[in-house]
Amino acid sequence: MDLSILFDFASIILADIVLSGDNALIIGMAAASLSPELRRPAIIYGMAVAAILRIIFAVFATYLLAIKGLLFLGGLLLLWVSWRLYGEIRENQARQAAAAQEEMEEGGYQGPPRRTMASALLSITIADVSMSIDNVLAVAAIARDNTAMLVFGLVLAIALMGFCATIIVKLLSRFPWISWAGLVILIYVSLRMLWEGWPEVATLLGLA
């Protein structure tokens, strides 16, 4: 197999792991602030919505990237995600999320809720929408015309978010280098999207 194809597959796997972990991290942190009886429903809701959104966006992924200017905008969005992820890695939020998750498994915080269910679900939904779009765009940008690679990346993203999200948070907490490797891949993908998408934007703006 061509080395470039292997690199793209590896890039998709890392991007899926890091973005799924980041999504799960936000869900876990939001749920940790709820009363004990509401935490599990909030987490289940967050994981389910994230998986469903990835399916929905995956259906339209190739069509989205075909829209003039969207590849460039997607690159900007992914670059912002990379910057936010860099801050999270620096602050070691994955370790905090894993600790919060372990606390919940052991009974967790038993005091009054620190936020309402509606507020937590709103935060989770916004995070799900944003991270699902980023995940699908990243996979589609790496795979481009390779349908098999695109399907692999999107199915993996859905599977990770639907079944392995909490495991990923613990994995990223234990092995921080995975987050750094994923961050490098995301920056690379975002810069490639900006480079390849700029001619379309320049044409639309009359700068070509």
pLDDT value for 92: 63
pLDDT value for 11: 87
157, pLDDT greater than 70: yes
Q: Which domain holds residue 175?
A: 3-204
139, pLDDT greater than 80: yes
pLDDT value for 99: 59
3-state secondary structure of 41: helix
DSSP character string of 72-120: HHHHHHHHHHHHHHHHHHHHTHHHHHHHHHHHHHTT---SS-SS-HHHH
Strand locations in 36-76 (E): none
Which of the listed ranges 20-34, 84-98, 177-191 does the model predict with the highest average pLDDT? 177-191
128, pLDDT greater than 80: yes
**Number of structural domains found in the chain:** 1
User: What letter represents residue 85's amino acid?
Assistant: L
pLDDT digits (tens, 9 = 90+) for 168-201: 777 777 777 887 888 888 888 888 888 888 888 8
The tokens describing 107, both together, are 């009974």
The mean of the pLDDT values for the chain is 78
Burial (CB < 10 A; 0-12, 13-18, 19+), residue 107, is exposed
- Which of 77-86, 105-114, 138-147 shows the lowest mean pLDDT across its residues? 105-114
Task: Please give the angle made by the CA atoms of 154, 158 and 159, to the nearest 5 degrees.
Answer: 115
124: left (phi over 0), alpha (psi -120 to 50) or beta: alpha
Dihedral sign from CA coordinates of 113, 52, 23, 17: positive
The model's pTM: 0.75
pLDDT digits (tens, 9 = 90+) for 35-87: 777 778 888 888 888 888 888 888 777 677 677 777 788 788 888 878 877 87
Identify the CA nearest to 64 among candidates 193, 207, 195. Answer: 193
3-state secondary structure of 175: coil
- Mean pLDDT calculated for residue range 91-99: 60
